Amino acid sequence: MSQNETLSRIQFEHQVRLTMKQAASYLGVSLYKIRQLVEDGILQADENLLDKRERLIPRTELDELIRRTGK
């Protein structure tokens, strides 16, 4: 894991849900890749009740993906 990836994960460790953009930063991938993972059903994303245009991903989903892929 690179230093940038570690810093990114530390930055979001207090959050329970992340925006798709934050999730991309957390995993060190593109926003397009996050959208693909959500569309493919690999990641669960819920509608943000305060902003209907935004979708939120539980950090536990991201941590589980990291665990499964060994990233």
What pTM was computed for the model? 0.75
Whole-number pLDDT of residue 37: 96
Which residues on adjacent β-strands are paired with residue 48? 51
Return d(Cα 3, Cα 9) in angstroms, integer: 10
Sheet (strand 51-58) strand order: 17-19, 51-58, 46-48
Fold classification of 3-69 is Arc Repressor Mutant, subunit A (1.10.10)
pLDDT (tens digit per residue) in 19-54: 999 999 999 999 999 999 999 999 999 998 888 888
pLDDT at residue 4 greater than cutoff 60: no
Which residues on adjacent β-strands are paired with residue 44? none
Please, which pLDDT band fits residue 66 given cuts at 50, 70 and 90? very high
Domain boundaries, the chain: 3-69
pLDDT at residue 69 greater than cutoff 70: yes
